[in-house]
Amino acid sequence: MDIIKDYLNGLEIPKDELTSLERTTLYGQGKAVDRIPACLDGGETMSYLIGAGMDEYYFSSEIMCQVEEYIHHKFGSDGAGISTSLRGMAEAMGSEIKYTKNNVAQLAKPALKLSEIDNAKLVDIDKDGRLPIILDAVKKVQERLGKEVSVSASVTGPLSIAAMVLGTEHLLIGMIKKPEKIHQLMEVIVENNNRLIKRLVEMGVGIGFPDPVSSTALISVEQYRKFSLPYFKQNVDYVKSLGGGCGLHICGTSRALWEDLRDTGIGAFSLDNVEDLEEAKRVLGGKMGIQGNVPPVEVMKLGTPQDVLRSARECIRKGWDSPNGFTLTSGCQMPAQTPEENMQALMDAARIFGRYPMDAVKLIEK
């Protein structure tokens, strides 16, 4: 039997026996579930699903919430969440952001020059930038979906915020020429993140940290340990001190950082598709859950449903027995105009190949 081929011919997909919230709660406790958890990584790039532009999404808590409702109710994704976006905190600190209908927001003008770091702003999360809109969206999602699915919110990693406050080029220059000023800025950013974290944990949601600028595709391991890790750890420690839980996603290459991440206290690490899940299971699996890592562009957007099934099956094969759990998802945020049939295929893959008791034959079948 060729399951991939049979999928084209109306293969009967096993039905979920648990709600998403039941599944993720029991799974997190190490108890029996019907299948592995699986999530669709969306956000602003999924605004097209409800006929909205990205520029509308960024400024409407209602649209943000409707996107999460659509994804959960249509596909059964095991997570719902609202993102501060990579530029949300920097905007609250004074950076100017450009918004367009069909593209993610871009930095238009940094808030500060290296010579102006003394003026780095402590934010008011109820007034500055889009933070009030984001908090209202989190509240809406929690109210409408919180009894059905685990709800989270993203808080951008401190180094990635610094890149949006100064501009990435000037941040990298500052690391070399004015390291003391970068450290000064990072302390302000940590405090700003903690102000947001406190409110989010009080709202009862989990915290996810997207931190692309910490990728070793951009900085060295030494720079990471000096300018990123200590400040990220402060945010993680604060989440934990409030009784919350958190995870991390680093875009691009991150393998050289994994040993450092083992002791940060995060509960889950999400891998970009350029990294190997089997190795992550070996290095990180004993300390935290791992998540990933179907290619978001080559497979999720540009591939066929059969391509998605093949890639997802391989991810499940590598990750399903990770000691602290595995969640099937894409290696990064899905791009705009990702076909809905491919999203359905990713969720179907969890139901076909990730069902308990695990069928090893299905995982190696060609």
- Which uninterrupted H or E stretch holds 197? helix 179-202
Confidence of residue 10 (pLDDT cuts 50, 70, 90): confident
Contact criterion met (CB below 8 Å) for 174 and 181: yes
Q: For residue range 41-54, what is the model confidence (pLDDT) as tens digits?
A: 999 999 999 999 99
Class of domain 84-262: alpha beta
For 364, list phi and psi in degrees, rounded to 5. -115, -5
Domain range summary for the chain, segments of one domain joined by +: 84-262
Q: Is the pLDDT of residue 258 over 90?
A: yes
pTM over 0.85: yes
Please report, rounded to a whole number, the percentage of residues in the chain having pLDDT higher than 70. 99
**Nearest residue to 211 (alpha-carbon basis) of 134, 138, 270, 298:** 270
Q: For residue range 74-106, what is the model confidence (pLDDT) as tens digits?
A: 999 999 999 999 999 999 999 999 999 999 999
Q: For residue range 113-144, what is the model confidence (pLDDT) as tens digits?
A: 999 999 999 999 999 999 999 999 999 999 99
What angle (nearest 5°) sits at the alpha carbon of residue 61, between those of residues 60 and 63? 65
Q: Is the pLDDT of residue 1 over 80?
A: no
For 322, list phi and psi in degrees, rounded to 5. -60, 135
Q: CA of 251: how far to CAs of 287, 295, 336, in Å?
A: 20, 12, 17
- Which uninterrupted H or E stretch holds 234? helix 229-241
Buried b (16+ CB within 10 A) or exposed e, 112-134: bebeebeebeebebeebbbbebb
* Sign of the dihedral defined by the CA atoms of residues 316, 322, 326, 329, in that order: negative
**Nearest residue to 319 (alpha-carbon basis) of 37, 112, 13, 51:** 37
Q: How far apart are CA 330 and CA 51, in angstroms?
A: 23
